[in-house]
Amino acid sequence: NTGALWGGRFAGGPADAMAALSKSTHFDWVLAPFDIAASKAHARVLNRAELLSDADLTTMLSGLDRLAADVESGAFVAAESDEDVHGALERGLIDRVGPEVGGRLRAGRSRNDQVATQFRMWVRVAARRVSAGLVDVVEALLAQVDAHPDTVMPGKTHFQAAQPVLLAHQLLAHVHPLLRDLDRIRDMDRRLAVSPYGGGALAGSSLGLDPDAIAAELGFDSAADNSIDATSSRDFASEAAYVFAQIAVDLSRLSEEVIAWCTPEFGYVTLADEWSTGSSIMPQKKNPDVAELARGKTGRLIGNLAGLLATLKAQPLAYNRDLQEDKEPVFDSVAQLDLLLPAIAGLVGTLTFHPERMEELAPAGYTLATDIAEWMVRQGVPFRVAHEAAGECVRLAEKRGVGLDELTDKELQSADQSLTPAVREVLTVRGSIDSRNSRGGTAAAAVAKQRERVAENLSAAKDW
Ligand code: ARG
């Protein structure tokens, strides 16, 4: 006997390179608390099925509790000979309660249903942590929204001057994707809450065990309906990898703006010292490293998703050892978000905005041209004609190097006879913003209503 979980039919142990390839204790050790919780639930159903005496159950549960404490304190660690966390913990249990009792626990279960169950449990805990970190980012954004209810800024499309908007509207445009991410996390948790335990290797168990009891004890909504699917599907993992990658993408989009906004060319914001870094050679530098690391790590999270999907495609049913490759990408994505979320919350919460600078730049690039055209439409002019005339106004203003509001009455008239001096009422940044007052628009009143709906949406995420 080689001492491995499957020693009986083998005359000798694995080659060193085989063992090294096979080993996963260096990353799956984080499943240990879930493995022990699942073992305790499993021991109870074995007892209820009369496969484990009351006395042995008591011995087993106290052995598992001692093992849990030793894992927690670091007194019990993986041995060189352990292949994975599940095998290591069985060894630890047998060390504590002896082979006669400890050797009974494995009845009716397999590492295939164990690992699928415990990985789900790990993702569910991680999802709650990511959700809380994301709520902090949203709250940091909302604090800036509330601090700047009527600050205006240039709005851009194609990164070119487009139309003026409220800073609050722009910041809320970053809040909405994050609220949808929070919603996605809660939604994926419904699918995570199905327990594979009881599926055994692939076909279920002949021992009359109760998968629903184990599911309930481990906090799942139900047991799985198909043991083959339960032990072999990992779409819960790729879904989580997607949601985490999407969160990174949304943080990266926000970061990209911060990176632009803190350049002297934009000058919209100054970064706080504690959330920026300097240069070893250029004394004047203050770099947006938090935002750049967010942008950079996003590539890594996308890679984790893409790699996992590639691992999953084309595997025949049911469990294949390929599936051991499922955990590291998801663990890594969460580890990156654990680092990133508090830093982004810190960065955003401590940005100092420069409203005068943003206001000064808001009309630059003739961003009020659309307001001329829409004013003409309200006078009954077809938009096609109005668009032409407003374009002519831009041409005239550009030729003389003046703003649209500085065109003479004669120049306005030459662009279109409907353009009376009254058009100047919309040729201010504030007038332009306040006129966009329907639901979803950038007018202050519309943004205030939007802010209220965002608060309701956020409280659903916080109550979760
Ligand atoms: N450690 C494996 C994994 O992470 C589970 C072990 C299943 N091994 C097996 N030979 N069936 O997927």
Q: Identify the band that residue 13 occupies on the pLDDT scale cut at 50, 70 and 90.
A: confident
**How many angstroms separate the first and last alpha carbons of the chain?**
50
> What is the tens place of the pLDDT at every residue in 418-442?
999 999 988 999 999 999 999 999 9
Mean pLDDT of 6-20: 89
Q: What atom of ligand 1 comes closest to residue 85's alpha carbon?
A: 1
Separation between Cα atoms, residue 4 and residue 134, nearest integer Å: 43
pLDDT at residue 7 is higher than 90: no
Q: Identify the band that residue 1 occupies on the pLDDT scale cut at 50, 70 and 90.
A: very low
Q: What atom of ligand 1 comes closest to residue 24's alpha carbon?
A: 1
Q: Identify the band that residue 2 occupies on the pLDDT scale cut at 50, 70 and 90.
A: low
Q: Identify the band that residue 114 occupies on the pLDDT scale cut at 50, 70 and 90.
A: very high
* CB 67 less than 6 A from any atom of ligand 1: no
The token pair at 51 is 């496969």
Separation between Cα atoms, residue 224 and residue 221, nearest integer Å: 10
For the chain, what percent of residues have pLDDT higher than 70? 99
pLDDT at 3: 59
> Which domains are present in the chain?
16-107 (1.10.275.10), 112-206+226-360 (1.20.200.10), 369-427 (1.10.40.30)
By most ligand atoms within 8 Å of CB, the mutation choice from 228, 321, 325 for ligand 1 is: 321
For the chain, what percent of residues have pLDDT higher than 90? 95
Helix (DSSP H) and strand (DSSP E) numbers for the chain:
18, 6
* CB 114 less than 6 A from any atom of ligand 1: no
pLDDT at 407: 96
Q: Whose CA is nearest to atom 2 of ligand 1?
A: 324
By most ligand atoms within 8 Å of CB, the mutation choice from 111, 202, 233 for ligand 1 is: 111
* CB 113 less than 6 A from any atom of ligand 1: no
Q: What atom of ligand 1 comes closest to residue 83's alpha carbon?
A: 1
47 Cα–ligand 1 center, Å = 26
The answer to whether the predicted template modeling score (pTM) of the entire model surpasses 0.90 is yes
24 Cα–ligand 1 center, Å = 9
Mean pLDDT of 10-21: 92
Burial 160-194, CB ≥16 within 10 A → b, else e: ebebbbbbbbbbbbbbebbbebbebbeebbeebbb
pLDDT at 8: 82
Give the residue among 115, 111, 135 at the shortest CA–CA distance from 123.
Answer: 115
> What is the tens place of the pLDDT at every residue in 152-186?
999 999 999 999 999 999 999 999 999 999 999 99
> What is the tens place of the pLDDT at every residue in 376-420?
999 999 999 999 999 999 999 999 999 999 999 999 999 999 999
19 Cα–ligand 1 center, Å = 13
* CB 324 less than 6 A from any atom of ligand 1: yes
Separation between Cα atoms, residue 91 and residue 89, nearest integer Å: 5
The pairing of strands 194-195 and 222-223 is parallel
* CB 318 less than 6 A from any atom of ligand 1: no
Residue 404 backbone zone (phi > 0: left; psi -120 to 50: alpha; other: beta): alpha
* CB 24 less than 6 A from any atom of ligand 1: yes
Q: Identify the band that residue 5 occupies on the pLDDT scale cut at 50, 70 and 90.
A: confident
Separation between Cα atoms, residue 33 and residue 118, nearest integer Å: 9
Q: Whose CA is nearest to atom 6 of ligand 1?
A: 111
* CB 220 less than 6 A from any atom of ligand 1: no
pLDDT at residue 128 is higher than 50: yes
> What is the tens place of the pLDDT at every residue in 284-302?
889 999 999 999 999 999 9
Q: Whose CA is nearest to atom 10 of ligand 1?
A: 321
**Residue 311, Cβ neighbours under 10 Å: how many?**
19
By most ligand atoms within 8 Å of CB, the mutation choice from 31, 90, 115 for ligand 1 is: 115
The token pair at 408 is 């003479």
Q: Whose CA is nearest to atom 4 of ligand 1?
A: 324
Q: Whose CA is nearest to atom 11 of ligand 1?
A: 112
pLDDT at residue 79 is higher than 60: yes
* CB 450 less than 6 A from any atom of ligand 1: no
Sign of the torsion formed by the C-alpha atoms of 272, 277, 279 and 280: positive
> What is the tens place of the pLDDT at every residue in 318-345?
999 999 999 999 999 999 999 999 999 9
- Residues recognised as catalytic: 158, 279
Average pLDDT, the chain: 96
